[in-house]
Amino acid sequence: SPSSSSSSLSSSVTIIIASHIIIITFTIIIMIITIITSSPPSLSVIMIIITVIVSHIVIITIITFTIIIICRLYRYH
């Protein structure tokens, strides 16, 4: 049935978003530690971390939009 598939989809999405949030949190912690420990803070490390965070945000946004579209399609059927 469409309702069960959409619920399983939402749960898998929740897991994906949660894992991304965990990754971002770890990345931010690593960034803070790197900035504190390295006495001049290396710009390359900061740039890499910003890129990682931005890419994760983009991925989450794409996933969210995809789910919204899928849910809309399920509703019309």
- Per residue in 62-76, pLDDT (tens digit) is 888 888 888 788 776
Cβ(35)–Cβ(46) under 8 Å? yes
Per-residue DSSP letter, 71: H
Tell me what pLDDT residue 12 has. Answer: 77
Q: Give me the amino acid identity at 46.
A: I
- Token pair 């898998």 is found at 12
> What is the chain's mean pLDDT, rounded?
77
Residue 17: both structure tokens together: 């978003």
Tell me what pLDDT residue 4 has. Answer: 65
Cβ(1)–Cβ(16) under 8 Å? no
Cβ(70)–Cβ(9) under 8 Å? yes
The C-alpha atoms of residue 2 and residue 62 are separated, in whole angstroms, by 22
Q: Tell me, yes or no, if the pTM score tops 0.75.
A: no
More confident position, 39 or 22: 22
